[in-house]
């Protein structure tokens, strides 16, 4: 019999409300406009590592992030915008994951990854108190943890390191890389660190810089991934190619097919203004503020009790 009681303490409700108010005050002061976009969309993300919850309403998906809708607003002429709301990812349940969670997502016109990282640091300082931030390029992070060969992309070394962390013998190179990155992030001891300059294969929806690395960054606080941001890919042809690549990977891994979002493609053909965007895990930030042991302790009702 599941308990009827909330998963967080009553005083945590207050801390959550205070933090929501602080986020809104932060963006109001910077003249970033709050928006609300649909939770139920006709399309969803093609990323093979993200599984959406499909609803019984025909062809409606609970959104895994508000990214596509917010980019359509930007293409239509919206100024810099932010949103605080629920996001849904199927199967992501664990100590630091809840299939329904709260994202702070925002887009800044005219910003690049550098300027957005500075603003993410300002927000985290405002919510958790000030601290120093370190910068670590992706390759450097891997070198620290796994040595030169892994950092240089040596396939044998990557597979061997993956197996050394308990990965099965038949695991592929992508799988091993994902595991090593997760391991390296969890091993970061510095309190706040930005990982930047991701390899092109992990660009997601970031544009590529002149040196071929992706203009993507992550913020890790106390070993916990709290933000993922891009200098956004604007080129619609490149976007269509990446969606095709996602579809190919989904086929290869036997994952359900996801149709590309033609509304997003059309919006970017119309023109996505030069901008940078980032998603921040609100519940994880609250957990860090409260010193919580699991994400469930920050939520009124976690997945098991909802």
Partner 1 sequence: MASYSTNEFRPGLKVLLEGDPCSILDSEFVKPGKGQAFTRVKFRNLKTGRIWERTFRSAESIEAADVLETEMEFLYADGEFWHFMKTDGSYEQAVASAAAVGDGKNWLQEQEVCNVTLWNDDPISVTPPNFVELVVAETDPGLRGDTAQGGVKPATLSTGATIKVPLFIEIGDKLKIDTRTGEYVSRVKA
21 burial type by CB count under 10 A (0-12 exposed, 13-18 middle, 19+ buried): exposed
44 burial type by CB count under 10 A (0-12 exposed, 13-18 middle, 19+ buried): buried
- Whichever of 50 and 285 has its CB closer to partner 1, that residue is 50
CB of 100 to partner 1, least distance (A): 15
Q: Which segments of the chain are extended strands (E)?
A: 33-34, 40-41, 53-54, 61-62, 81-88, 100-109, 134-137, 192-198, 214-221, 224-231, 275-281
Provide the token pair at 203. Answer: 């660009």
CB of 256 to partner 1, least distance (A): 13
**Residue among 264, 209, 279 nearest 74 (CA):** 264
Member of 9, 13, 186, 259 binding partner 1 (CB under 8 A): 186
Report the first-to-last Cα separation within the chain, whole angstroms.
Answer: 13
Member of 20, 42, 92, 269 binding partner 1 (CB under 8 A): 92
- Of 77-85, 93-101, 146-154, 260-268: span binding partner 1 (CB under 8 A): 93-101
Binding to partner 1 by CB under 8 A, coded x per residue (else -) over 227-256, reads: -x----------------------------
CA separation for the pair 216, 195 (Å, rounded): 9
Secondary structure letter of residue 305 according to DSSP: T
Residues 154-183 contacting partner 1, CB under 8 A: 165-168, 171, 174-175, 177-179, 181-182
Q: For 66, how many CA atoms within 13 A lie in the half-sphere containing its CB?
A: 27
- Whichever of 42 and 202 has its CB closer to partner 1, that residue is 202
CA separation for the pair 48, 246 (Å, rounded): 6
185 binds partner 1 (CB under 8 A): yes
243: Cβ contacts below 8 Å, ≥ 6 apart: 46, 260, 265
- Whichever of 104 and 204 has its CB closer to partner 1, that residue is 204
- Whichever of 246 and 261 has its CB closer to partner 1, that residue is 246
91 binds partner 1 (CB under 8 A): yes
- Whichever of 123 and 280 has its CB closer to partner 1, that residue is 280
What CA dihedral angle connects 247, 251, 42 and 273, to 10 degrees? Answer: -10
- Whichever of 19 and 205 has its CB closer to partner 1, that residue is 205
- Whichever of 97 and 191 has its CB closer to partner 1, that residue is 97
Member of 94, 110, 147, 212 binding partner 1 (CB under 8 A): 94
Site residues for partner 1 per CB under 8 A: 47, 49-50, 91-97, 165-168, 171, 174-175, 177-179, 181-182, 185-186, 202, 204, 218, 225, 228, 279
């Amino acid at each position: 019999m599941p308990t009827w009681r909330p998963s967080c303490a009553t005083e945590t409700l207050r801390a959550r409300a205070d933090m929501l108010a602080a986020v809104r005050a932060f963006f109001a002061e910077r003249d970033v406009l709050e928006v609300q976009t649909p939770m139920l969309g006709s399309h969803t993300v093609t990323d093979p590592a993200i599984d959406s919850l499909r609803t019984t309403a025909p062809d409606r998906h609970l959104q895994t992030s508000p990214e596509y809708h917010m980019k359509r607003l930007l293409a239509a002429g919206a100024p810099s915008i932010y949103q605080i709301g629920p996001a849904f990812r199927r199967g992501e349940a664990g100590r630091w994951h809840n299939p329904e969670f709260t994202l702070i997502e925002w887009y800044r016109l005219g910003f690049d990854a550098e300027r957005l990282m500075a603003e993410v640091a300002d927000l985290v300082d405002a919510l958790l108190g000030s601290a120093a931030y370190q910068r670590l390029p992706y390759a450097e992070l891997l070198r620290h943890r796994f040595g030169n060969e892994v950092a240089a992309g040596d396939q044998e070394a990557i597979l061997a390191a993956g197996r050394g962390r308990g990965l099965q013998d038949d695991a592929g190179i992508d799988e091993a890389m994902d595991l090593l990155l997760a391991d390296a992030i969890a091993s970061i001891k510095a309190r706040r660190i930005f990982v930047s300059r991701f390899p092109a294969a992990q660009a997601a929806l970031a544009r590529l810089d002149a040196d071929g690395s992706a203009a993507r960054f992550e913020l890790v606080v106390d070993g916990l991934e709290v933000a993922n941001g891009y200098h956004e890919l604007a080129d619609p042809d490149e976007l269509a190619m990446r969606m095709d690549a996602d579809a190919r990977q989904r086929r290869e891994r036997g994952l359900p097919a996801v149709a590309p979002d033609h509304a997003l493609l059309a919006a970017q053909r119309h023109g996505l203004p030069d901008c940078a965007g980032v998603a921040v895990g609100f519940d994880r930030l609250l957990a860090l503020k409260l010193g919580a042991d699991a994400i469930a302790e920050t939520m009124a009702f976690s997945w098991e009790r909802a």
